[in-house]
Amino acid sequence: MGDQVHRFRLGLEDLASASFACSPLQEAVLSLRMWTHPGKYVHQAPMFERIRPEFERLECAPLLRSLIASNRYVPDFLTPRPSTPFPEVQAELAVVRALPPERLRAELEPAFLPHDRQLPPLLAEGLADPARLLAGIADALEEYWVRCLAPEWWPRARSVLHADIVHRSRVLAERGAAALFQDLDPRLLWRDGVLTIRRDWGDGDSDITVGGRGLVFTPTFFARGAITSISDEYPPVINYPARGQATMAGPLAPPPTRRALEQLIGAPKARLLAMLDEPASTTELARRLGVTPGAVSQHLSVLAETRLVNRARHGRMVLYVRSPLADELLR
């Protein structure tokens, strides 16, 4: 099937209220692709190989794998649009649990039937008791989150996702909507109040008037391009590939710095400035440098006092980015 297009028609109010959110449940559900389609998301592979033994010990692992279609689609109800910029995973799971069980078949079939022609056996058999199947799916996702993702992967991932959102917000404020959408993904086209996304699902082109419902953008580690819901009935949301994914693969060597800058402010601070071309948290910087967060915090305080870095609060997280003055020093 060739590419089709999904058009979001945005009024001025819709554009003004467009927002970004970070969804832990979305990332948990989409990360199941790591177990069904290995090799697709190379930056996540090192950490997920460390997670694999714990995942394989889950009794619910077969059910979790069954939630991903052979073309990597997932049922829309498993990734509800975030109701706040930083929802807690338990709140998002509550939305999944609240789905009327009689709707479960209709939610599952669009993800599997067009491509696979049938539901996975575990899901097909479970629909004999949809309420029990729905509860089992939600419980499996919760156990997967607690045992596999929350201990190590999510703290690092959250830092990268928050940094991405701060960057996108700056692009929107400084360069406008057209630049933002182009920066998110080349398959997005903004023209004359219409945001068009190419897609390879559905029965034809789709034309959606946002009509004051708001458009939410969520970064993800588990997509190769901008995507949206399978069904047009869901509130408008676009998932796009997060920036900074390479930092998840392991520590990166700090970019080289000019010798004169190191002599001026010291090598540790010069390395930090070189790394802060995009927002990052103290914890993430410490991990990449192999030092303690306390050491990084001390250097960042000095750099902030001398106006070489700017602070940006995103939810409960404080991110740092180079100031224009520091950009000049690094040239």
pLDDT of residue 250: 62
- Select the highest-mean-pLDDT range: 4-13, 15-24, 60-69, 284-293: 60-69
Greater confidence (203 vs 158) lies with 158
Question: How buried is residue 326: exposed, middle or buried, by Cβ count under 10 Å (0-12/13-18/19+)?
Answer: buried
Nearest to 216 by CA among 85, 30, 56, 64: 85
Beta sheet of 216-220, edge-to-edge order? 19-20, 216-220, 237-241, 227-228
Q: How crowded is residue 111: how many other Cβ atoms within 10 Å of its Cβ?
A: 25
Cβ count near 64 (within 10 Å):
23
Q: What is the mean pLDDT of residues 158-178?
A: 84
State the pTM of this model: 0.77
Mean pLDDT on 218-231: 88
Confidence tier at 1 by pLDDT (50, 70, 90): very low
Q: How confident is the model at residue 255 (pLDDT cuts 50, 70, 90)?
A: low
| 306 phi/psi in degrees, rounded to 5 | -95, 10
pLDDT at 12 over 60: yes
Instruction: Return the higher-pLDDT residue of 169 and 315.
Output: 169
pLDDT above 70 (res 264): yes
